Amino acid sequence: MQLIPIPGLSPLTAKLCQNHQLRGLIDGMGQYGLAKSLGIGSLSAKTFIALYPGVAEYMQRTKEQAAAQGFVENPSGRRLYLPNIRNKNATARAGAERAAINTSMQGAASDLIKRAMTDISRWLSDGLKSKLMMQVHDELVLNAPEIKLDLVKEKLPQMMAKVDEGILKVPLIAEVGAGMNWGKAH
């Protein structure tokens, strides 16, 4: 993930983005986890969370649905059963609630990257002399000859952006980097 400086960003928001805490928040981190992670007070964390009401609403809706059904489904229909979702022990229940929230996000990401890998592998094998080497979280590492690099750099983001059809309600944006190794490609 490449961070792009945004003029006027508050120091707290910049720190949050830099430390990828927003992703943690979406994956189920609550007010106290966010405060601890950033080294800020819980009131500041609560204020930040309030800036994104859709996230809080999504999290609450997911918890309620999980408690009602005893499971959550990712966008492709895979289920995670949550035996502790109705547990009287608050710690056990909170763990199940975090898992419920995380499953939806991680499940969608997993489905998307698998679709991308399938489509891209098929495309690369069509005479491009390029290979899909590995997956690292939400990134794909390819080996392409220099003569095919411009084509791969042009086509890859288009292919990755198309894999979300029917899954996401927002556009998926993919970026491509090139280098002699994974580190230099960033």
Where are the domains positioned within the chain?
A: 12-108
CATH-assigned architecture of domain 12-108: Orthogonal Bundle (1.10)
Q: Which of 89, 85, 91, 100 is nearest to 26 (CA)?
A: 100
pLDDT in tens, 23-62: 666 666 778 887 887 777 888 878 877 777 887 888 899 9
Question: pTM surpassing 0.95?
Answer: no
66, 100 Cβ separation under 8 angstroms: yes
Q: What is the structure's pLDDT at 154?
A: 93
Is 114 a residue whose pLDDT tops 50? yes
Q: Roughly what angle, to the nearest 10 degrees, separates helices 11-18 and 42-50?
A: 90
- pLDDT above 70: percentage of residues in the chain: 84
